[in-house]
Structure 1
């Protein structure tokens, strides 16, 4: 098989990123937008002229990713995409899949990661948490110049490319973000003349659009006046540059349980409102079903409080997070919300200074929801502790499986693992794992 050939292949299975995989004598070939059972015509990239071998991927492996030319025999579960930009825009990779195929593929990604880590625990069915759509979006703003002149555009990047695909409408966004592309373009036209590419993050809140612009650099006084006028004209709740507040016309609120949080500009939020509610429900249900009443809980990597504020309806909570601004937002929401049990906060880098067993043993339950890198250091300390109940939330199946293995090796049993889908049409999946101490931590 030559790497610069046009080939006809049969797709055997789906890969972790949603690509169809065809097995060939030269190894697997990955075909975006293809489904198992399909016969497809593809082209493969030419070999690296310096070596005569296949181009190398970013992971150092031979790049056997093909470009789909045509589907010659379609699978029965292929469906028409809902967006005219599908296959051009890099945001969605699965709009061609039926719901059944999509749900099984996404759940299987969790099952596979756990199996590789040596964890044999039943995985619950995938929970759909897309809801009304994503409440936050980041548009890229670019100034493009050609023979016809200058064109300012906002949109998403093409798959595995730096090419901008202009976007006027995105079907996976919450309706509250319907005007977000036009607003982003308006702001881009004000800022792009400085010549720097922009990332414009827009969040739908209870009081309107909250926008944080990245890539521009600090705004001068003239730019601040211009942007303040734009925020008034566009009726924005808040506008900031690199997290630095330009103007706040109304506090941008995010409901979290009984609380109303004003998150820091550009701060982390779950992708969808239903996604946050679903993850929090699974966390609180695990605590409510614990053999003994949960009186004190620790919420690690707490952010601005999506779990802490809900857990405080039933127990005292100690929230630990490295971002002081997020903790300040949580504390303000706690103090403004009647009927909650006490929430204390601690600014601490849990990667460098995880809570130790002596600290952890004060709690009846520990919840942790780390970034994609996982919580390896903290999981090792939890495994040495005697905390009766641990609830692990994750957005990465690989690091979740690694941390789960640490807990099970330390004497915890996985009682339940639930995959949650709030990133529709993407390979990303959330997980909530409930772990119960059944024995003593093993000495190493």
Structure 2
């Protein structure tokens, strides 16, 4: 590895600084556009040795674990970036991928989330000589950065790190890494141990005792509930839901409510709506206040939580649920014959097959929600070519200081 001085030209989609050296592209973590930095280079990667000419947009990171002088925690990539410039870059990520598909979009201002607002975290853990490491993977590696603080998660999760480390010490088997999925609920923390095949009876009892001592609402091993001291409840626009262990919910409650408002406003006036990739009902449940909803989801436990919430909430319109793999068997155009509006919120792979069916249907309004701008742009191209007009795109920053950005696109015809 050699030392080189490079000039950073721009930020890449994964938040690396990008330099061009002798016709080759070099990716430099923790560097900003305009900076001159000395790097230790290995092929296309450059690790910062010194920042010789810092950018005016560089700022002091709020977390001691961030950056090359910290523990290289990979949970954040851009704490050193001035927040105004960072917000502009986040919005531009969405604009750029849409433009690459030839889509002229009205990209609205970024909906931001404050530090300390993320209610869901997936922590990695591993037994090492002398104890347990708990945290997020170090930048660009599979090695766990052992964290003692976190600037992005809710205070209840940050303050729980010592207890979670103790719980991980109980659950650890050998040196194999595993995960703790943590969700803040109104009843306390909901914790699921993932990647541990089983716990011996003594460990199981000890883990349950520790969870009760720490005041967790629920502790699970995979999908098995070990102890439920209180029902872990989250709310979707005021409707209470008990999610299954390790369930997907939006990372920020503030972002979730903003997203519900955008989708509900767009689909107002529709009498029948299909919620595709519905999960536990983030959109389906609020929409049933004004429309009949057909919810489709492949996760049976999530559908059960959705159905249970609907049956125990008064004043909602009819809701039907169907377990279905929408990648293998999308809801076809004929099945959407009586449907006026659609909302879909797929995994990162997007909804290509489903978008083709929506384009071929008589649906008049669509709200497309995505955590991957690239697959969203692909799906929007299908819908636009099928006769829809793109009204707006709103980027949402649920994942502060990371390269990930959510977006909601609203279409009609």
Q: What TM-score bracket applies, with the shorter chain setting the length? A: over 0.9
- Whether the aligned pair in 2 keeps the contact of 1:130 and 1:422 (CA below 8 Å) is no
SS of the residue aligned with 2:254? helix
How far off is 1:359 after superposition?
1.1
1:40 corresponds to 2:37: yes
Post-superposition offset of 1:11: 1.3
SS of 2:172's equivalent in the other structure is helix
1:105 equivalent in structure 2: 89
Q: Choose which of 193, 197, 219 in structure 1 pairs with 2:199.
A: 219
- Give the equivalent residue in structure 1 for 2:54: 74
2:179 maps to what in 1? 199
User: Rg: which structure is higher?
Assistant: 1
1:83-129 alpha-carbon deviations (Å, 9 max, x no partner): 11111111111011111211111111111111111212221121113
Provide the C-alpha distance between the structure 2 equivalents of 1:195 and 1:27, rounded to a whole number of angstroms. Answer: 39
**Displacement after TM superposition at 1:182 (Å):** 1.2
Q: CA deviation at 1:131?
A: 6.9
1:189-224 per-residue CA deviation (whole Å, 9 max, x = no partner) reads 212255432211111100011110012112343332
Q: 1:219 to 1:188 in 2, by over 3 A?
A: same
Distance in 1 between residues matched to 2:282 and 2:138, nearest whole Å: 32
The Cα RMSD (Å) is 1.4
Deviates more, 1:331-340 or 1:350-359: 331-340
Aligned to 1:208: 188
TM-score (norm 1): 0.90
Q: Which whole-Å CA distance do the structure 2 matches of 1:16 and 1:81 have between them?
A: 20
* SS of equivalent to 1:358: coil
- The counterpart of 1:141, out of the listed 114, 125, 133, is 125
Aligned to 1:267: 247
SS of 1:9's partner is strand
1:114 aligns with 2:98: yes
Q: Distance in 2 between matches of 1:39 and 1:295?
A: 58
The match for 1:314 is: 290
Separation in structure 1 between the aligned mates of residue 106 and residue 115 of structure 2, nearest angstrom: 26
Tell me if 1:415 matches 2:391: yes
Distance 1:231 1:98 in 2: 39
Give the distance between the partners of 2:109 and 2:183, measured in 1 at CA: 29
Q: How many angstroms does 1:162 deviate by?
A: 2.2
Q: Which runs of 5+ in 1 are unaligned?
A: 46-53, 55-63, 438-444
Residue matched to 1:326: 302
**Equivalent of 1:127 in 97, 107, 111:** 111
Structure 2 unaligned runs (5+)? none
- 1:254/1:260 contact within 8 Å kept: yes
Query: Is the partner of 1:128 in helix, strand or coil?
Result: coil
Instruction: Name the residue aligned to 2:259.
Output: 279
Mapped to 2, the partners of 1:231 and 1:190 lie a distance apart of 11
The answer to whether the aligner puts 1:96 opposite 2:74 as a matched pair is no
Equivalents in 2 of 1:18, 1:194: separation in Å? 35
Aligned pair 1:349/2:320, yes or no?
A: no
8 Å CA contact 1:12, 1:37 repeated in 2: yes
The equivalent residue for 1:393 is 369
Match of 1:365 among 341, 349, 359: 341
Counterpart check, 1:248 vs 2:228: yes
Stretch of structure 1 that moved more, 211-220 or 81-90: 211-220
Contact preservation (8 Å) 1:136, 1:204: yes
Equivalent pair of 1:202/1:211 in contact (CA under 8 Å)? yes
Question: Residue 130 of structure 1 contacts residue 275 of structure 1 at CA under 8 Å; is this kept in 2?
Answer: no
Aligned equivalent of 2:270, options 285, 288, 294: 294
Match of residue 60 from structure 1: none
d(CA) in 1 for partners of 2:24, 2:91 = 26
The C-alpha deviation readout for 1:324-382, integer Å capped at 9, x for no partner, is 11011011111111122121111111101101111112111000000000001100111
In 2, the alpha carbon distance for the partners of 1:433 and 1:162 equals 34
Structure 2 length-normalised TM: 0.96
Contact 2:115–2:153 (8 Å) recurs in 1: no
